[in-house]
Chains A and B, each alone.
Chain A
């Protein structure tokens, strides 16, 4: 059934029951493609396999509930103003898809390009921001420099005065950046994929990757038994190393808890997204009215989805300094997810040394924004066995060749 205002009205008048948004089938003995992990990236991959490559004999295996990983825990910042050309192309590919995603999926994912503003507090920040802006302009990506006064005009509650420890010296603004509704992204892709015949199998943990004596992948062991597969795509975010370890592939990943929190809901006060890498905090306001707040990862690697109080405390220190009117607001809920971080802070999307085994991981603290693009290029990779032009640079072996795409670069070290 197509969702629309008309369908809502009809349902309201007739009191009829909405159909299931996705089915919950029992697994088949084998599939053309098995995707491990029903997060946004995994589900998007399945959707594009079915919709663009006609590969519908696909299963997405999820150990918990779909969208329950980082997809359902993230703070939904979307932007494409990355430094390096390779990254710009990758994230911009996603932003282009975001722009039409609700229509494509017939599911309101609430993509809201309300503007993402990244603050500069030191001369080094200013240099780094300007470098990004110059690079983005060349790449055809919108990004503009704002003076402190312009930054405040864009976000009236931002403190640009001199009375804070690191006064705001300016900001880089990407107007097409913004947010989307994370759950809707997972559900929308799940519904659209399921409709095209993809099997989404929840509560089905992958516990092993089975390989033929000749080395290639032939399927996965799961809580629901062995499931055969011609190709396996691992899209398991924070748990990628564990899964790849099952195929004896050691990944250049470290897994860290990343926390976020929301305030109680209030009427609109925060029109955009503001991020500050120097004081480590960012904030936006959800459509429900909650202030959505996050920062950097915890300091130590861990698979525990709760982090330390001092991390949230440091985040709130910064938030209260940048937005002094929110000091009396209250934290309603705090949570964490496990993010998989690569040495160059860029993802790995492509082949592995094991025939038939593909991986899409390493999105770290910032992969939600890439969801449609990531799924799109990974579907191509799984369908053809070769990367799409956009993900070709994001290989696993770049850590051997040294061809890194270091997105932490400009922010790396100050004098």
Chain B
């Protein structure tokens, strides 16, 4: 007990466990159970921060989550730092390192405090009125300076090494807040057998009870009642108690976000332990027992270190054994502060005076104070405070019968405890979309009509007396359990004695002597918003409270106005001559207190950011040196470089090999949808442009799907396996979209069709065997399908067996060569691949990747949806009118195809480009222009969609969409480059290779 400010009794301190920590490099002692704020106060340290704008010295004002001033940086080294933590919530551990923020060079001497002297220049919104000229000065001159001056702490400079966990949970009753009301509710709900979750942001259960000493509940001392209640709850297996857990968001359908802090309070977090856990809870009923937050009084100098909330001083004393001052002045408009005065007096402090704004306060607290001969000055106010880094005196004034204030005296003090009464914490209630009700007598907003299955109890509801709070808790817990379908027992009402509840309060600027300017009377402490700022905002025309907030920044600090919103509202209402409810509150938004990004992101990190989809053949490709590309969620083998080969070299070789011999390609990522039912063909008729009714069983057709606008949305080969069964393939990334599109139409437009759609993408591994030797490679493994050209022509499908495994064998080609696509059940994919590969190797074939596949198909002028189309292209633009079943009455997109613009002559058309320099491969995306040096702003004729160096043709090839391109064949156009002049190319047919298709039909 080294310090004169540390007392030997407290509810949260373990005096057997002393700890050491450093603050701004200086070492201090504290105890297990302390927060940084309590430990520093117990050493007589009040100065803990600097304000945002004026860099005013600030001490701790509150004892909990609402603290606006004492913001610290906590660092464990190695990327483990966190800025802007409230000293009142940082639990002490041995070796803790904390630093103050937003000051230079030191907290005691901060040059930024010059702003305080210049404050008259920096009124509300000053930055909107200046820094305007010359034109570029804002971005280059003023903004950099402002940016450096703004901001509080520093972001970490290294990646976060910690992990975060996610948990989803359901329960019957979720109770937010583990104070008297919340615990009582948990007890009665828990006894009914309901699954209960209780969350409280603090380390210890009890909320406000932890700061109580003389009170009795049912004849027991309050701390004993609390311990017994918590033990009873801990003994219930279906009750989950989550401490250090903040409910930060209340969403639709009783969905609540909680964040549990698991390791920040530990000196040595266990290896691998997540730092925080996000709970996403769906509750049948929610009980909000979130308590109330004390309001500061607004008077000049109310922000000096040593000025704090009365309830906070009491908490520091009773919970942590930290005495905030030796000669304390109390300034109040509420009874509860009397209990603080009494407790501090009994702990040895001298109460210089209790300055009460009210004319004639009455009640047990006042009587008790008088009984202890504490000087009570009614109808008095504090009008100014003194002291540089800590308050040392305050000027008092008396309110005359006419309301005028006359200065009366200056009172020495080293702490000033203030209380403007309590504001119910209705944040979550409001987030749930509940409607607030204004209690005009007490000048507070309380929960009104609920919007969800929820109820508020205790101080959160404006019930400040302990006895009623406990009673409400028992009743609400029982009721919630019953509504969730459990039978509850009644718990006998409790009797509480010696409680001094809050019963009054004051919002807005306290009266001051006539002619005295409001001075440095702060409303929002962190953002340095003064009464005068709010008044001048209203004078400047900012009459909505949302405008006042945005213009002055009141309520926009890291505490989101927990201590300031009501005062700001009262000051604004007064200035506007309107009532408080008429002006109204700003919207409450999640989160209640700031939530770590990492907690919300949880496990979605690195490879878990998005699922990685791998084909059954992935491992083989990896083993054979493939490099992969990301295509949607899939990893696809991009190319298979042999020793020393570049991408370019590998692709040339792969292409050459496929054209001269054969290649194996893993096409498993292609989307597959099985369409089955009596109306399967009719369904396809409506979803694809082509006609399907007459497609024979065993035959395939290339299908094109349009969106409603008539633009190509997907394509793929569709095979008819039976009269009522089709095997549909889609593009790799299009698969989910196509299925959703189909389901959408089936369910909303064509519900009369008798069809089932099933995604079978993952059921089938697909091995494309392409090239003149494809048949030879397959033949040895296929026993029951005749592969000969006559028996199995191009665009046919057969079912049978390969390597003894069931297969759907397609004869299709995306390379322009003789080709097959072998579908086998995924589980056998690798085995079949390896068997085919062994055979392929004998023939000198290769495995090829997506890049070679792209080149090969481009040589044939085959489109890739999404590369050669971009959602603005019709089948006609692509020269593919033949895919449109002209006699069909309708299909999705048909109506749009007849619109005027879709028939214009100058629509972009799909063409080939032959660059004059055969080595020039234009950028994909290069603009096609009419002249080599187009004037800026001139229109493009089109753009290059695909471009490659073609081994087959021994030169570059390109595909493009060019306005009226087909009619322009033979014309010279120019292709833009990023690093030089546009280069010439001739418009040609998009089919560069085997125009007759002889190889395909081989």
Q: A7-B129, A187-B128, A330-B84 are in contact. Are A131 and B560 (CB under 8 A)?
A: no
Q: A108-B128, A264-B83, A412-B871 are in contact. Are A400 and B604 (CB under 8 A)?
A: no
Q: A121-B630, A131-B924 are in contact. Are A17 and B539 (CB under 8 A)?
A: yes
| Bound-state Cα–Cα, A19 to B537, Å | 10
Taking CB atoms and an 8 Å cut-off, the chain B residues in 587-620 that contact chain A are: 587, 589-591, 594-598, 600-602, 604-607, 609-610, 612
B581 interface residue per 8 A CB criterion? no
**Which chain A residues border B128 with CB–CB below 8 Å?**
3, 107-108, 181, 184, 187-188
In contact, A122 and B871 (Cβ under 8 angstroms): no
**Which chain A residues border B159 with CB–CB below 8 Å?**
159, 324-325, 327
Q: A135-B940, A325-B157, A325-B158 are in contact. Are A313 and B601 (CB under 8 A)?
A: yes
In contact, B978 and A309 (Cβ under 8 angstroms): no
User: B139 is contacted by which of A7, A112, A333, A410 (Cβ under 8 Å)?
Assistant: A112
Question: Chain B CB within 10 Å — which of A68, A123, A320 has the most?
Answer: A320
A110 interface residue per 8 A CB criterion? yes
Instruction: Give the Cβ gap from B736 to chain A, nearest Cβ, in Å.
Output: 11
User: A328 is contacted by which of B597, B872, B924 (Cβ under 8 Å)?
Assistant: B597
Which stretch in B368-376, B751-759, B832-840, B926-934 binds the other chain? B926-934
| Bound-state Cα–Cα, A11 to B431, Å | 40
A312 interface residue per 8 A CB criterion? yes
In contact, A334 and B978 (Cβ under 8 angstroms): no
User: B867 is contacted by which of A17, A64, A127, A139 (Cβ under 8 Å)?
Assistant: A127
**Which chain A residues border B22 with CB–CB below 8 Å?**
none
**Which chain B residues border A11 with CB–CB below 8 Å?**
120, 123
In contact, A308 and B251 (Cβ under 8 angstroms): yes
| Bound-state Cα–Cα, A72 to B547, Å | 10
Instruction: Give the Cβ gap from B412 to chain A, nearest Cβ, in Å.
Output: 31
**Which chain A residues border B81 with CB–CB below 8 Å?**
328
B902 interface residue per 8 A CB criterion? yes
Taking CB atoms and an 8 Å cut-off, the chain B residues in 545-567 that contact chain A are: 546-547, 550-551, 553, 558, 560
Instruction: Give the Cβ gap from A277 to chain B, nearest Cβ, in Å.
Output: 14
Taking CB atoms and an 8 Å cut-off, the chain B residues in 887-918 that contact chain A are: 896, 899-902
B925 interface residue per 8 A CB criterion? yes
B844 interface residue per 8 A CB criterion? no
In contact, A328 and B160 (Cβ under 8 angstroms): yes
Chain B, 519-560, contact with A by CB distance < 8 Å: what is the 0/1 string? 000000000000000001001111110110011010000101
**Which chain A residues border B587 with CB–CB below 8 Å?**
335
Instruction: Give the Cβ gap from B105 to chain A, nearest Cβ, in Å.
Output: 15
What is the interface size of chain B, counting residues whose CB is below 8 A from a CB of the partner? 121
B148 interface residue per 8 A CB criterion? yes
A208 interface residue per 8 A CB criterion? no
Taking CB atoms and an 8 Å cut-off, the chain A residues in 83-140 that contact chain B are: 85, 99-100, 102-103, 106-108, 110-114, 121-124, 127-135, 137-140
In contact, A5 and B594 (Cβ under 8 angstroms): no
In contact, A266 and B605 (Cβ under 8 angstroms): no
Instruction: Give the Cβ gap from B150 to chain A, nearest Cβ, in Å.
Output: 5
In contact, B601 and A320 (Cβ under 8 angstroms): yes
User: A110 is contacted by which of B143, B612, B871 (Cβ under 8 Å)?
Assistant: B143
| Bound-state Cα–Cα, A415 to B547, Å | 48
Q: A102-B138, A268-B148 are in contact. Are A330 and B597 (CB under 8 A)?
A: yes
B197 interface residue per 8 A CB criterion? no
**Which chain B residues border A85 with CB–CB below 8 Å?**
939-940
Question: What is the predominant secondary structure among interface residues of chain B facing chain A?
Answer: loop
In contact, A333 and B589 (Cβ under 8 angstroms): yes
Instruction: Give the Cβ gap from B550 to chain A, nearest Cβ, in Å.
Output: 5
Which stretch in B336-344, B707-715, B773-781, B818-826 binds the other chain? B707-715
**Which chain B residues border A24 with CB–CB below 8 Å?**
541, 543
In contact, B251 and A309 (Cβ under 8 angstroms): yes
Instruction: Give the Cβ gap from A389 to chain B, nearest Cβ, in Å.
Output: 13
| Bound-state Cα–Cα, A239 to B995, Å | 54
Chain A, 1-39, contact with B by CB distance < 8 Å: what is the 0/1 string? 001110111011101011111111000000000000000
Chain A, 142-184, contact with B by CB distance < 8 Å: what is the 0/1 string? 0011000000000000010001111000000000001001011
Question: Chain B CB within 10 Å — which of A128, A288, A404, A406 has the most?
Answer: A288
In contact, B896 and A265 (Cβ under 8 angstroms): no
Taking CB atoms and an 8 Å cut-off, the chain B residues in 24-66 that contact chain A are: 52
Instruction: Give the Cβ gap from B54 to chain A, nearest Cβ, in Å.
Output: 14
A249 interface residue per 8 A CB criterion? no
Chain B, 105-132, contact with A by CB distance < 8 Å: what is the 0/1 string? 0000000000000101101001111111
In contact, A329 and B596 (Cβ under 8 angstroms): yes
User: A134 is contacted by which of B536, B600, B927 (Cβ under 8 Å)?
Assistant: B927
Chain A, 248-287, contact with B by CB distance < 8 Å: what is the 0/1 string? 0000000000000001111111000000000100000101
B151 interface residue per 8 A CB criterion? yes
A212 interface residue per 8 A CB criterion? no
In contact, A316 and B544 (Cβ under 8 angstroms): no
| Bound-state Cα–Cα, A306 to B605, Å | 26
**Which chain A residues border B138 with CB–CB below 8 Å?**
102, 108, 110-112
In contact, B129 and A289 (Cβ under 8 angstroms): no
B385 interface residue per 8 A CB criterion? no
Chain A, 291-325, contact with B by CB distance < 8 Å: what is the 0/1 string? 00000000000000010110011101111110011
What is the interface size of chain A, counting residues whose CB is below 8 A from a CB of the partner? 119
B920 interface residue per 8 A CB criterion? no
| Bound-state Cα–Cα, A414 to B80, Å | 39
Q: A127-B867, A265-B151, A327-B159 are in contact. Are A306 and B251 (CB under 8 A)?
A: yes
In contact, A5 and B148 (Cβ under 8 angstroms): no
Chain A minimum-CB-distance residue to B151: A289
**Which chain A residues border B544 with CB–CB below 8 Å?**
64-65, 68, 202
B327 interface residue per 8 A CB criterion? no
In contact, A122 and B900 (Cβ under 8 angstroms): no
| Bound-state Cα–Cα, A328 to B864, Å | 42
In contact, B257 and A309 (Cβ under 8 angstroms): yes
| Bound-state Cα–Cα, A181 to B154, Å | 23
Instruction: Give the Cβ gap from B564 to chain A, nearest Cβ, in Å.
Output: 15
Chain A minimum-CB-distance residue to B256: A309
B732 interface residue per 8 A CB criterion? yes
Instruction: Give the Cβ gap from A60 to chain B, nearest Cβ, in Å.
Output: 14
In contact, A3 and B130 (Cβ under 8 angstroms): yes
B328 interface residue per 8 A CB criterion? no
**Which chain A residues border B589 with CB–CB below 8 Å?**
306, 333-335
User: B132 is contacted by which of A65, A103, A134, A402 (Cβ under 8 Å)?
Assistant: A103
Question: Chain B CB within 10 Å — which of A110, A131, A330, A412 has the most?
Answer: A330
Instruction: Give the Cβ gap from B155 to chain A, nearest Cβ, in Å.
Output: 4
In contact, B867 and A401 (Cβ under 8 angstroms): no
**Which chain A residues border B871 with CB–CB below 8 Å?**
406, 408-409, 412-413
B875 interface residue per 8 A CB criterion? no
In contact, A18 and B540 (Cβ under 8 angstroms): yes
B870 interface residue per 8 A CB criterion? yes
A326 interface residue per 8 A CB criterion? yes
A53 interface residue per 8 A CB criterion? no
In contact, A329 and B155 (Cβ under 8 angstroms): yes
**Which chain B residues border A103 with CB–CB below 8 Å?**
132-133, 135
Q: A22-B541, A121-B630, A165-B606 are in contact. Are A402 and B936 (CB under 8 A)?
A: no
B976 interface residue per 8 A CB criterion? yes
| Bound-state Cα–Cα, A124 to B631, Å | 8
A390 interface residue per 8 A CB criterion? no
B255 interface residue per 8 A CB criterion? yes
List of 4 A-B pairs having minimum Cβ-Cβ separation, nearest first: A131-B925, A289-B151, A330-B594, A402-B899
Task: Give me the interface of B with A, judged by CB distance under 8 Å.
Answer: 52, 79-84, 118, 120-121, 123, 126-133, 135, 138-139, 143, 146-148, 150-160, 162, 249, 251-252, 255, 257, 280, 431, 517, 536, 539-544, 546-547, 550-551, 553, 558, 560, 587, 589-591, 594-598, 600-602, 604-607, 609-610, 612, 629-632, 708-710, 713-714, 731-734, 737, 864-867, 869-872, 896, 899-902, 923-927, 929, 934, 936-940, 943, 976, 978
Q: List 11 A-B contacts (CB under 8 A).
A: A21-B542, A124-B631, A131-B943, A139-B937, A188-B128, A202-B543, A266-B153, A267-B151, A313-B600, A325-B156, A413-B733
